[in-house]
Amino acid sequence: MATETQTPVAAPAPSGGVGQRAWLFVSLIALVLLALAPFVIYPVFLMKALCFALFACAFNLLIGYVGLLSFGHAAFFGGAAYVTAHAAKVWLLPPELAILLGTLFAGVCGAAVGALAIRRQGIYFAMTTLALSQMLFFVFLQAPFTGGEDGIQGVPRGHLFGLLDLNDPYAMYFTVLAIFVGGFWFIHRIVHSPFGQVLKAIRENEQRATSLGYDVSRYKLMAFILSATLAGLAGSTKALVFQLATLTDVQWQMSGEVVLMTLLGGIGTTTGPVIGAFLVVMLQNYLATTALPATVVIGIVFIICVLVFRRGIMGEIGHLLRWKL
């Protein structure tokens, strides 16, 4: 395999740039906007976009900060959705426990898939994750509890902590927003922790990280498990929002979608995946109202991104402003 190649991650922009204070300011504005948004924009759209945004951020943790392209993240996203839906509908668990269970399930799957996949590198890693997630797809297709082609429908949202009735759209929205913000903040902390520094060192030069004495495999596996768990959190939340878990969410096309969101927004940027997710969800909603074949348009966006727009939106802006966004 060629070694003198460009890595598929945005070039690290010079650090410094935006100060802590400016960041805090921008974050606060974003939070206020997100808090006001459901009164202006259709909440279901926002909730969907936030779930996918968290999913994309989780995926970005792996490709953006460790340089690993997982083509199988749908298994964690959709798998967690199934478990949450089943827990809420059949076991009648409260929403917080149903989500917790789904998220844990994704973490366990992530540990198994990750342990196998990190035995190969680069392109083989991507193929391996794709194949293993396809295996999980068939398991969900055939497992008795998933309802086959119909999926699990009519999942009750329930009362959060026994108090908050999630059937109220605003209650549900603010729950989703809280989960998103929590997940986003958690990823931000991971990336800026000493652990995150080691991940970046692995991305830049795996051999050097090994020679510095880091157990690269362990770090990769940890990152994979964290990423899968957070993807599961996003999937579990989505299952409650739509009161539904279906095969769509575990299919490889879904793995491709999260790649696209991250690529479009900017691989390795903090906010890019969020923006990419919002744009792709908007695009899909728009395409659903037209006669255009959605997969063709998505495919074309994919091709354009790879050919001429590899930094993605935030990566491109960051490059222009020489900031790390």
Among 212, 303, 321, 322, binds another protein (CB under 8 A): 303
Q: Which stretch binds another protein (CB under 8 A): 44-52, 121-129, 166-174, 213-221?
A: 121-129
Residue-wise over 9-39: b if at least 16 C-beta within 10 A, else e? Answer: bbeebeeeeeeeeeeeeeeeeeeeebeebbe
**Residues 208 and 201: beta-carbon distance below 8 Å:** yes
Q: What phi, psi does 210 have (nearest 5°)? A: -65, -45
**Tokens representing residue 255 in the block:** 């793995």
310 near another protein, rule: CB under 8 A? yes
Amino acid residing at 240: L
Q: Which stretch binds another protein (CB under 8 A): 4-12, 216-224, 230-238, 273-281?
A: 4-12
Among 252, 279, 316, 317, binds another protein (CB under 8 A): 252
Angle CA 262–266–270, to nearest 5: 90
Among 298, 313, 314, 325, binds another protein (CB under 8 A): 298
218 near another protein, rule: CB under 8 A? no
Q: Footprint of another protein on residues 62-101 (CB under 8 A)?
A: 69, 71
283 near another protein, rule: CB under 8 A? no
Q: How far is the CB of 134 from another protein (least distance, A)?
A: 5
For another protein, the closer of residues 176 and 259 by Cβ is: 259
The C-alpha atoms of residue 186 and residue 50 are separated, in whole angstroms, by: 15
Among 38, 256, 268, 272, binds another protein (CB under 8 A): 256
The C-alpha atoms of residue 53 and residue 248 are separated, in whole angstroms, by: 17
Among 25, 42, 124, 145, binds another protein (CB under 8 A): 124
